[in-house]
Amino acid sequence: MTAFVPEIHAPTGSIRIPELRQIHTTERLLAVIDHPAFQRLRRVRQLGPIHLVYPGAVHSRFEHSLGVYDMARSYLVALLRDNSVCERLTTTDIEVCLLGALLHDLGHYPFAHSLEALHHPGRDTPRHEDLLGRILRGEFEFLRGEKPLADVIADQFGFDAQQVIDLVGRKPHWHDRPERRLVATIISSGIDADKADYLERDSVHMGVSYGRNYDRARLLDSLCVHPDGDRIAISDKGRVSAEIFIFCRYTMFSEAYWHHTVRAVSAMTERAFNDWNEENSMGLQEFTSLLLQCSDDELFDHVRRSTSPDRLSHRLLTDVLQRRFYRRVLTLNRAWDDVRHQDAYERIYHLTREHADQLRDALCATLSRMLGIPVDSHNVMIDTPPRDKDRIETVDVVHHTSAGATATPLPQISRVVQGIATDFIKVVKKIRIFVSHDVRAAIEAGPGRASVADALLETVLAFEPGPTRQQKLF
């Protein structure tokens, strides 16, 4: 049997978080939670600037991290009902999983997803996943004088924090032991504890119902281990619960995370940070330290104060804070029957960053000609959905027969999941062309949106990428 794990078997305290969640804790777990490295996450919003569209979405990475810990604990409790799992998982496997769930977002900083999309010659923005180890080891100035969190983990739990770093930073299949691969899928898989928490939590704070409709109790009751022994799966009785879970994620992206106004705010924020990043002269270490010490509002304020009023970054962030959001004039997806729309989508989707900038200039020229006013590049944005979201992660369904257990990928036995995967690619992943508030007003006062949309579509179809700056060097 698995050795005694206090967080699983005998918690001594609790923390209350929305919605009606009681996070069971122990003294040694509180030593990690109360460390300044973890408390910093109170100042980092879970959804960045989305609260400007959904006012309630001001919840933090701190709250989410506690929620993921609690979900991971529930997953482990469900799995440990199986005696074979109890015999295989060591105390350290379980404790590393719990700490990995708690600390998986420790490297996050304000607007991380927008900032990570930036590229600056010689200084790319740090990936939050890569900062976990450095924060645990106390390598940043804001942690000077504090006992490193890695030492707290070693003292309280008795193992090297590198195990937590590896669990969070590696893909599940990269781990040598099947038991470690198994607990890694609790944190990263098609129905992992991270998704289970953020779908419900984001729905609560955004004021929508889409992510809250899966049957958590049924899903946990059907949780099991894949016959290969190295990943989580669900029994046949949980098939519908898994379908609903995947559908919840689909609808959250369709109706909330990638809502057109949310995408406009995100595109404006990313463009503003890109402009600021090109101008500031900080080294990578100084830049990273700044990001880790700022709250969302402080970083917005820092960028605005450190740039002149006529700088694009200053103007864009001012517009964001005043809710003068850019507005869409052309929307494309792969579901259009019109082959021209499909062709335009594919042309834009596969453009490099420099070629996308060239297309933006061509769109500006078209708008200037139609409106009779100068339309500069800062007035137009092309929003392409992230390319790392090209598939819906799923799960295997385990069937028990007299011959033994077999597992089948859910899409093979569920037309619902097949349809979700297809629609996600064809319908949800929209490309949008946004224009500034003033340009949209000129469009509505002049030729109208339909005429402009047709002209911009023709511009995309006629666009021929030119040589990039690097190509010109040769």
Q: SS3 for 343? A: helix
What integer pLDDT is reported at residue 401 of this predicted model?
84
| Alpha-carbon distances of 167 from 21, 82, 144, 171, rounded to whole Å | 26, 23, 26, 8
**What Rg do the C-alpha atoms of the chain give, in angstroms?**
24
CA distance 8 to 17: 19
* Residue with token string 């009681």: 22
First to last CA, the chain: 66
CA atoms lying within 13 Å on the CB side of residue 259: 16
Kindly report whether the global pTM for this prediction surpasses the value 0.85: yes
What integer pLDDT is reported at residue 333 of this predicted model?
93
Beta bridge partners of 415: none
CA distance 106 to 129: 8
CA distance 277 to 290: 13
Q: Considering the chain, what is the average pLDDT of its residues?
A: 93
Pairing of strands 232-235, 327-332: unpaired
CA distance 222 to 171: 24
Q: Which two tokens stand for residue 424?
A: 């996600």
Q: Which two tokens stand for residue 42?
A: 């109170």
Burial (Cβ within 10 Å: 0-12, 13-18, ≥19) of residue 390: exposed
Burial (Cβ within 10 Å: 0-12, 13-18, ≥19) of residue 101: buried
What integer pLDDT is reported at residue 473 of this predicted model?
45
Distance of CA 382 to the CA centre of its chain: 20
Torsions phi, psi for 130 (to 5 deg): -80, -15
**Which is nearest to 410 in space by CA: 245, 300, 230?**
245
CA distance 445 to 459: 22
**Is the CA virtual torsion 436, 441, 442, 448 positive or negative?**
positive
CB neighbours of residue 383 within 10 Å:
22
Q: Which two tokens stand for residue 356?
A: 């996308």
Burial (Cβ within 10 Å: 0-12, 13-18, ≥19) of residue 362: middle
Q: Extract long-range pairs of 214-220: CB within 8 Å, 24+ residues apart.
A: 214/241, 214/244, 214/245, 214/247, 214/248, 215/240, 215/241, 215/244, 219/191, 219/245, 220/74, 220/75, 220/78
DSSP type of residue 230? S
- Digits of tens for pLDDT over the chain (474 positions)? 567 899 999 999 999 999 889 999 999 999 999 999 999 999 999 999 999 999 999 999 999 999 999 999 999 999 999 999 999 999 999 999 999 999 999 999 999 888 877 755 555 678 888 899 999 999 998 999 999 999 999 999 999 999 999 999 999 999 999 999 999 999 999 999 999 999 999 999 999 999 998 999 999 999 999 999 999 999 999 999 999 999 999 999 999 999 999 999 999 999 999 899 888 778 888 889 999 999 999 999 999 999 999 999 999 999 999 999 999 999 999 998 889 999 999 999 999 989 999 999 999 999 999 999 999 999 999 999 887 666 778 899 999 888 889 999 999 999 999 999 999 999 999 999 999 999 999 999 999 999 999 999 999 999 999 886 655 544
Torsions phi, psi for 182 (to 5 deg): -60, -50
CA angle 446, 452, 457 (to 5 degrees): 175
Q: SS3 for 13? A: strand
Polymer length in residues for the chain:
474
What integer pLDDT is reported at residue 124 of this predicted model?
66
Q: Is the peptide bond before 354 cis (omega within 30 degrees of 0)?
A: no
Could you please report the per-residue DSSP string of 429-467? S-EEEEE-HHHHHHHHHTT-HHHHHHHHHHHHHH-----
Q: Extract long-range pairs of 415-421: CB within 8 Å, 24+ residues apart.
A: 416/243, 416/247, 417/243, 417/246, 417/392, 420/246, 420/247, 420/250, 420/392, 421/391, 421/392, 421/394
Q: Which two tokens stand for residue 115?
A: 């900032």
Residue 468, sorted as left (phi over 0), alpha (psi -120 to 50) or beta, turns out to be beta
